[in-house]
Amino acid sequence: MSLLEATLRAASVLAAFLVLPLLVGQAEHKVMAHMQGRLGPMYAGGFHGWAQLVADGVKFVQKEDITPRAADRWVFRLAPAVALIPYLLAMATIPIHPGVAAVDVPGSLVLVLAATSVGALGTLMAGWASGNKYALLGGLRAAAQLVSYELPIVLALASIAMAGGSLSLMALTQAWSPWWLLWQLPGGLVFLVAACAELQRPPFDMPVADAELVMGAWTEYTGLRFAFFLLAEYAGIVVMSLLFAVLWLGGWHGPFEDTLGWLWTLLKGFGVAVLVIWVRVAWPRLREDQLQRLAWLWLVPIALAQLLLTGAGVVMGW
Amino acid sequence: MSPLPGILKGLITTARTALRPTHTAEYPDVAPELPPRSRGVIALLEENCTSCMLCARECPDWCIYIDSHKETIPATTEGGRDRQRNVLDRFAIDFSLCMYCGICIEVCPFDALHWSPQFEYAEVDLLDLLHEKDRLAGWMASVPPPPALDEKAAEPAEIAAANRPARGAGPAGGAGGSGPRMPRTVRPRAAGSPRPDAGSPPPDAGSPPPDAGEASP
């Protein structure tokens, strides 16, 4: 790989990283508004408020960057980057077209898992370093939530890896067949629920629960650093949605996949993102104990059962 | 799995709402549809005002200011008496004090004050909310016509009074009296002469007078 090609790949991933979360964010504004009988943003940019998030970004840039005196300075300032950058890494490994991914490594599934786990550490760092009791409580809740929900995610992905016989996202998508829609359905549902929780999205947003904890670990953040946390959340939605679309919905598989494969991947991923938004609008926040109950009494057993089913299927050659 | 029906119900509800038209009123771009009795601002019909001061006196927070003077109207007939009438000099409502109770409108005996649904008269300075009679008169254009009566409502009092047959009218007087009847002004007869219908019995004494059914309610 020449230097030019590497630069091009990096630039394209960065562009996708900056555009796709904004698309999802705008979709959230509009979909949520209409689900609540509202119109959502209508003015910014002229046509149905398409530039609302750009305007929000400009606003965040103008705000003062405050570090509280009681904060652990370096950790506090580093936390948004720790939350944001792993999703950039994860996004780079996702195959969007037959044979096309920005970074195609043999163990990309493991890489994605590791990266998304690190992203969750950003919230923990922010909560610990803020010197604020709400932030600390939010960070602790985030820690408890991450410990509980990493496991179902890993188990669900392990089932896919077993079914496809590989740890490379590219090879797994290649191996996908429509039969997986039924065969891997329980694991897929577990992954969706656990991904929502991993991203701290409603109904699993206890770490940021603004009615109880102000804004949880993000309480003390202002300006661009706060915007980075928000961007990390939406980048996380993009990564998890694309991952689900690639592994469970077949990614580029569809009509004319040689030319339109990238479109199918993006459309499927966008559909999953809309589902994540829909879930956010429809359901209230869970209580902390309900969260743990759901993880350990439902998701982990279902994921283990899926693993058994997949194992049986692989051995019997389905 | 007891929570599952509720979870699905939540999804269905939000999806159904998303497919329906929204409730958002795009106010500055689209004028709001206000009900006809909206209490937006109080408009003044200056010609009807007699400067009787009833509104200013009844106003709970004294936000109506009225100045007037008397003018003498010379007699129109020879040897007649000059008459006096009030001329309105100033009529102002301080909308920074007004609490939109509508008592002034209720008490005005001459229908000089009216509710208008117009509400876009915000000012930067509180003191600029004292509006004089030219501004108040300008709002008369936005006063809607009075809303139609309900289907089974009673007749308005003045129409009912006009329709009521004259007291003491016999069968001749009330014949065919379903149409509106002009109020009587002067008795047409000289005093002392016998009434044409009161002295003589009605032509058909056996049947009840045709008026009876109308007069009883």
User: Where are chain A's structural domains?
Assistant: 8-36+43-316
Tokens, residue A277: 């938004």
What is the pLDDT, as a whole number, of residue B29?
Answer: 85
Q: Which residue of B has its CA nearest to A34?
A: B18
Is the per-residue pLDDT at B185 higher than 80?
Answer: no
Whether B11 contacts chain A with CB within 8 A: yes
Over residues A261-280, mean pLDDT: 89
Between CA A200 and CA A207, with CA A206 as vertex, the angle to 5 degrees is 70
Higher pLDDT, A147 or B44: B44
Please name the member of B7, B10, B22 whose beta carbon is closest to the beta carbon of A37. Answer: B22
At A210-269, the pLDDT tens digits run 788 888 888 888 888 899 988 988 998 999 999 999 888 888 887 887 888 888 889 999
ipTM of the complex model: 0.71
Probe site for chain B from A32, A36, A285 (most B CB atoms < 10 A):
A36
Distance from CA of A170 to the nearest CA of B (A): 33
Contacts of B30 in chain A (CB under 8 A): none
Q: Which residue of A has its CA nearest to B6?
A: A283
What is the pLDDT, as a whole number, of residue B94?
Answer: 93
Is the per-residue pLDDT at B190 higher than 60?
Answer: no
Over residues A23-27, mean pLDDT: 91
Is the per-residue pLDDT at B189 higher than 70?
Answer: no
What is the pLDDT, as a whole number, of residue B180?
Answer: 59
Over residues B183-192, mean pLDDT: 56
Distance from CA of A299 to the nearest CA of B (A): 13
Is the per-residue pLDDT at B210 higher than 70?
Answer: no
Spell out which chain A residues touch chain B, with contact meaning CB-CB distance below 8 angstroms.
31, 33-39, 42, 278-279, 281-283
Please name the member of A38, A279, A282 whose beta carbon is closest to the beta carbon of B24. Answer: A38
Closest CA to A93 of A16, A184, A164: A16
Between CA A14 and CA A21, with CA A17 as vertex, the angle to 5 degrees is 160
Instruction: Write down the mean pLDDT value for chain A.
Output: 87
Tokens, residue B144: 């809607």
What is the pLDDT, as a whole number, of residue B214?
Answer: 45
- The model's pTM is 0.72
The amino acid occupying position B193 is S
Over residues A77-99, mean pLDDT: 87
B23 to A38: CB separation less than 8 angstroms, yes or no: yes
The architecture of the domain spanning B41-142 is 2-Layer Sandwich (3.30)
- Match 């002392």 to its residue by tokens: B192
Answer yes or no: are the C-beta atoms of A129 and A79 closer than 8 Å: yes
Tokens, residue B20: 């329906």
What is the pLDDT, as a whole number, of residue B170?
Answer: 54
Q: Where are the domains of chain B?
A: 41-142
User: Of the given ranges (A124-138, A298-312, B96-110, B147-161), which has the lowest mean pLDDT?
Assistant: B147-161
Share of chain B above pLDDT 70, in %: 76
What is the pLDDT, as a whole number, of residue A97?
Answer: 81
Answer yes or no: are the C-beta atoms of A32 and A9 closer than 8 Å: no
Q: pLDDT tier at B181 (50, 70, 90 boundaries)?
A: low
Answer yes or no: are the C-beta atoms of B39 and B100 closer than 8 Å: yes
Please name the member of A35, A279, A283 whose beta carbon is closest to the beta carbon of B17. Answer: A35
Cα–Cα distance measured from residue A286 to residue A80, given in angstroms and rounded to the nearest whole number: 26
Pairing of strands B41-44, B64-73: unpaired
Cα–Cα distance measured from residue A83 to residue A233, given in angstroms and rounded to the nearest whole number: 9
Is the per-residue pLDDT at B203 higher than 50?
Answer: no
What is the pLDDT, as a whole number, of residue B216?
Answer: 42
Contacts of B18 in chain A (CB under 8 A): 31, 34-35
Q: pLDDT tier at B201 (50, 70, 90 boundaries)?
A: very low
Q: pLDDT tier at B1 (50, 70, 90 boundaries)?
A: low
Q: pLDDT tier at B169 (50, 70, 90 boundaries)?
A: low
**B194 cis-preceded (ω within 30 degrees of 0):** no
Over residues B119-142, mean pLDDT: 90
Cα–Cα distance measured from residue A299 to residue A156, given in angstroms and rounded to the nearest whole number: 9
Write A56-60 long-range contacts (CB < 8 A, 24+). Answer: A56/A227, A57/A227, A60/A223, A60/A224, A60/A226, A60/A227
Higher pLDDT, B144 or A254: B144
Is the per-residue pLDDT at B42 higher than 90?
Answer: yes
Contacts of B17 in chain A (CB under 8 A): 34-37
A282 to B22: CB separation less than 8 angstroms, yes or no: no
Q: What is the 3-state secondary structure (H, E, C) of chain B?
A: CCHHHHHHHHHHHHHHHHHCCCCCCCCCCCCCCCCCCCCCEEEECHHHCCCCCHHHHHCCCCCEEEEEEEEEECCCCCCCCCEEEEEEEEEEEECCCCCCCCHHHHHCCCCCEEEECCCCCCCCCHHHHEECHHHHHHHHHHCCCCCCCCCCCCCCHHHHHHHCCCCCCCCCCCCCCCCCCCCCCCCCCCCCCCCCCCCCCCCCCCCCCCCHHHHCC
Over residues B28-53, mean pLDDT: 88
Chain A, chain B: beta-carbon pairs less than 8 Å apart: 35
Cα–Cα distance measured from residue B122 to residue B113, given in angstroms and rounded to the nearest whole number: 21
B22 to A33: CB separation less than 8 angstroms, yes or no: yes
At A167-187, the pLDDT tens digits run 888 888 888 888 888 888 898
At how many degrees (to 10) do helices A133-164 and A108-129 cross?
A: 170
What is the pLDDT, as a whole number, of residue A250?
Answer: 83
Share of chain A above pLDDT 90, in %: 14
Whether B187 contacts chain A with CB within 8 A: no
B14 to A281: CB separation less than 8 angstroms, yes or no: yes
Contacts of A38 in chain B (CB under 8 A): 22-24
Sign of the dihedral through C-alpha B27, B28, B29, B30: positive
Cα–Cα distance measured from residue B56 to residue B40, given in angstroms and rounded to the nearest whole number: 19
Tokens, residue A222: 């202002």
User: Of the given ranges (A178-182, A221-225, B148-152, B197-201), which has the lowest mean pLDDT?
Assistant: B197-201
What is the pLDDT, as a whole number, of residue B188?
Answer: 54
Label residue A152 exposed, middle or buried (CB < 10 Å: 0-12, 13-18, 19+): buried
Closest CA to A237 of A285, A201, A204, A278: A201
Cα–Cα distance measured from residue B166 to residue A167, given in angstroms and rounded to the nearest whole number: 104
Over residues A16-29, mean pLDDT: 90
Phi-psi domain of B111 (left: phi exceeds 0; alpha: psi -120 through 50; beta: other) = left
Whether B2 contacts chain A with CB within 8 A: no
At how many degrees (to 10) do helices A3-35 and A257-282 cross?
A: 40
Cα–Cα distance measured from residue A235 to residue A238, given in angstroms and rounded to the nearest whole number: 5
B10 to A283: CB separation less than 8 angstroms, yes or no: yes
Over residues A55-60, mean pLDDT: 90
What is the pLDDT, as a whole number, of residue B45?
Answer: 92
Answer yes or no: are the C-beta atoms of B95 and B129 closer than 8 Å: yes
Is the per-residue pLDDT at B208 higher than 50?
Answer: no
| Alpha carbon separation from B194 to A182, A303, B119, B141, B190 (Å, rounded) | 108, 112, 64, 55, 9
Contacts of A35 in chain B (CB under 8 A): 14-15, 17-18
Please name the member of A38, A42, A278 whose beta carbon is closest to the beta carbon of B14. Answer: A278
Is the per-residue pLDDT at A289 higher than 60?
Answer: yes
